[in-house]
Structure 1
């Protein structure tokens, strides 16, 4: 059964984006593809398999459960959980081979104790807070912390990393300050003979604009999906957006111009909740997408869609399950016609600007009940429901 609304994900475009990233970082630098938040709404399993096939070395998720989904899908490459492990998750991290991010002494002690009891060594990455203020060991305490961890039994420090707060800003001074703090810790460790195999700090903004920060590995997120992290980064990389959000017209009708009744009440009070006023006769199409699907109410009376390659405005308030489009200027429109909410010709960034947000939020906000349909040049379109 063909869905009425769907998200189309072009896996070839994701492969292309990996190749573009590889071109600018070179072959000596590893890539950790960030597939957290269900691969930014694109579908983690399908995207992970695609990027592994494109020869990325590692995957990044945000928690244990995301990593387990990938393992159960028989994805066997290294997976780093970027969020901290909880005490009741230690055994599962080890069982599924998910590399934990260490942010505290309490965490690392639990992993060490479990590793000793099992007679194994557990690979870890230590997160350093160089100025994001979110997760990680403070950079002022990181040297002593890592020195202490390096002597713990059952623990192998595979990597240390940090996260940049403003790499996609026009002014890169804070990114450089964070990098200086991070390199300071690395250099102090080297002086006492602690050499960590993988150091990484570069997110999408740094991959594009700050080549000195690429180090041993980079962590592309939004660029993997074909979008720049902001309008302020350079355009030296040729990205192809992977996601399109589409639906179909389910109802059409002619709406007459407002007519007065008893001098003040119109026969047709307007369109949708709040009664958007109509000053002329309109042809209205209804589509089965609303804010419960991730199409924000903030788009009401502001956004446009594509029908037959022509732009058509959303009119009235976006409701929970439906919204209305003025198609008066598209005479050939009919029920069942495809409607593009965003995609190649109508960028998700346009919707993000209307909503005063970023593209990430729009992509991640599309409800998981909307099926993802994966497109490649090698096979037909196939419907893939989201993992629960």
Structure 2
């Protein structure tokens, strides 16, 4: 058995999906499982969900799903290159299109191919510009082999309290759809709502929504009102060393922690190479025996020291929870993100993919 592992609660993810499906009905759901399902494991998560479509970042991520036996529609949300067109078609993936070069490459495929048009309504990332969208879409639908199945955009600020910019993006997107209708172009699948919009801007659900972080039981931001979803990921390890140190002992690199009294210091075989953030040094916590214990000293590449002085009956091999629940105590991903001055997305996607995922 590995000395560290990530537990994934598939029932929690299934229940989270059911909650989302219920509140957005009758809209379809494109479950976003890019970045290996935010670190949860894309193939097992896809097989656990009865989603209408799955969203991935790239061709490579789509191929992994197909090779893993996933046969639902798969939308590539990120940019694709012209040389990837053949493989996209071969693996029956749906590209998003926003450049003339890729559109022309797609038009040369002899078979029928579906695509979604990505429009930049204010994210400032990828997508055909709003001002050029109508002419671009007119060209796309003119090719007999291209089936423009969907049109979408991405919201930049829907997770913030101030929704004015998100509403402005939606106004642009809605206007574009109406203008297309006026010239006889009706695109079946329209989608702009991410997790934050699903929770706070239901008018944006349209024909499909794209939940990401919410699927995994986490909120898009602290500004969002809590809803009944459950975090699905826990990060666990075991004690590999327990030693007594006298008062005045230096712990780890740089001697950044010195014991203030006779202390019991434990070592866990997890460090920044595993995805534990180095800025948790001397300020983060883990759970041992259902109690919080502090990380002491500088967090190392593959080991971290913890102060066990207040814990009774400890032994090498005992379970340590980095985030998750042990007995009645919980350390959340959001708590760790605050310690690290980052977001929950970065914590869960930053866990080394080589660490075994255990599905419960």
TM-score range, shorter chain: over 0.9
Query: Which of 147, 153, 161 is the aligned partner of 2:144?
Result: 153
Distance 2:263 2:97 in 1: 59
Distance 2:258 2:246 in 1: 12
Distance 2:291 2:78 in 1: 43
- Per-residue CA distance 1:85-114 (angstroms, 9 max, x = gap): 112111000000000010111111100112
1:75 maps onto 2:70 in alignment: yes
Distance 2:21 2:94 in 1: 24
The gaps in structure 2 that reach 5 residues or longer are: none
1:1-388 correspondence runs (5 A)? 2-26=1-25, 28-51=26-49, 55-114=50-109, 118=110, 120-235=111-226, 237-258=227-248, 268=249, 270-275=250-255, 276-344=257-325, 345-375=330-360
RMSD: 0.8
- Per-residue CA distance 1:135-182 (angstroms, 9 max, x = gap): 000111111211121112210100000000011001010100110111
Give 1:274 deviation, angstroms: 1.4
Give 1:277 deviation, angstroms: 1.9
Distance 1:137 1:108 in 2: 11
TM-score, reference length from structure 1 = 0.90
Distance 2:203 2:216 in 1: 23
Distance 1:97 1:191 in 2: 31
- Per-residue CA distance 1:300-344 (angstroms, 9 max, x = gap): 011111111101000001100000010100011111000000014
TM-score, reference length from structure 2 = 0.97
Give 1:195 deviation, angstroms: 0.6
Q: Which ranges of 4 or more aligned residues in structure 1 deviate by more than 2 Å?
A: none
Distance 2:164 2:284 in 1: 36
Give 1:62 deviation, angstroms: 0.2
The count of aligned residue pairs is: 355
The gaps in structure 1 that reach 5 residues or longer are: 259-267, 376-388
Give 1:278 deviation, angstroms: 1.9
Give 1:346 deviation, angstroms: 1.1
Distance 2:132 2:324 in 1: 45
